Chain A
Amino acid sequence: LAKTTQPISMDSYEGQEVNITCSHNNIATNDYITWYQQFPSQGPRFIIQGYKTKVTNEVASLFIPADRKSSTLSLPRVSLSDTAVYYCLVGLRMDSSYKLIFGSGTRLLVRP
């Protein structure tokens, strides 16, 4: 499974757009990129998944360049409640039977 590298922490202010970039240089052809969010004392929660180009849902966008060696999670207009740890994972699509490997994640702090 491809290893991911992401910033340890990021700071932002309410209302700003936050972009968290993840590097995955040895991503395989059939690997997908998935992001999870985790609040203290809770389990991780799925945010978004993509394979290439751009994916958007009601909470975030995921940008994946053509070489797929990195990806960027974009959170529009963050609020205080977006303060959490964000994990980038690379692996087979979620509807296959495989284990998710979590790194240490990015701690996002949103300030008023």
Chain B
Amino acid sequence: DTGVSQDPRHKITKRGQNVTFRCDPISEHNRLYWYRQTLGQGPEFLTYFQNEAQLEKSRLLSDRFSAERPKGSFSTLEIQRTEQGDSAMYLCASARVGELFFGEGSRLTVL
């Protein structure tokens, strides 16, 4: 257990539905990252927060994706109008100084 928790761990949804994932980082960590990982591939960067400010977004993060980190604590990643291609593991990581601590991820299956 790294101290980074993600919820839910598994989500099955139908195409076109909206889903939201939550990440609770280690409390003193001001940096928070979202990654997406598909089977057999390494994690792909989605977005990065420093405190409550979203400083960087990948081109992978289409208009259907939005992430927030109100008050610089927990973060949410919402996917609107899900598509089958969104099926993946969504990983959250946090850091203060140094290494990133990853959560165990939220696995999304879009039917």
Residues of A within 8 A of B (CB): 41-46, 49, 85, 87, 94-95, 97, 99-105
Contact yes or no, A43 B93, CB < 8 A: yes
Q: Mark B41-56, 1 if CB is under 8 A from A, else 0.
A: 1111100101000011
Having A46-B99, A104-B40, A104-B41, one finds 10 other A-B pairs with CB under 8 Å, namely: A41-B104, A42-B104, A42-B105, A43-B93, A43-B103, A44-B100, A44-B102, A49-B99, A94-B95, A99-B48
Contact yes or no, A97 B99, CB < 8 A: no
Contact yes or no, B95 A43, CB < 8 A: no
What residue of chain B has the Cβ atom nearest to residue A39's Cβ?
B104
Chain A contact residues, majority secondary structure = loop
Complex-state Cα separation, A102 to B93, whole angstroms: 14
Contact yes or no, A45 B102, CB < 8 A: yes
- The distance from the CB of B44 to the nearest CB of chain A, in whole angstroms, is 7
Closest 7 CB pairs of A and B: A43-B102, A102-B42, A46-B99, A99-B45, A95-B97, A102-B43, A43-B91
CB of B22 closer than 8 Å to a CB of A: no
CB of B74 closer than 8 Å to a CB of A: no
Residues of B within 8 A of A (CB): 2, 4, 31, 33, 35, 40-45, 48, 50, 55-56, 58, 89, 91-93, 95, 97-105, 107
- The distance from the CB of A17 to the nearest CB of chain B, in whole angstroms, is 24
The total number of A-B Cβ pairs within 8 Å is: 58
What residue of chain B has the Cβ atom nearest to residue A97's Cβ?
B50
B contact residues around A95 at 8 Å (CB): 97-98
- The distance from the CB of A36 to the nearest CB of chain B, in whole angstroms, is 8
A contact residues around B107 at 8 Å (CB): 41
- The distance from the CB of B3 to the nearest CB of chain A, in whole angstroms, is 12
B contact residues around A85 at 8 Å (CB): 42
- The distance from the CB of B11 to the nearest CB of chain A, in whole angstroms, is 14
Contact yes or no, A99 B102, CB < 8 A: no
Contact yes or no, B100 A46, CB < 8 A: yes
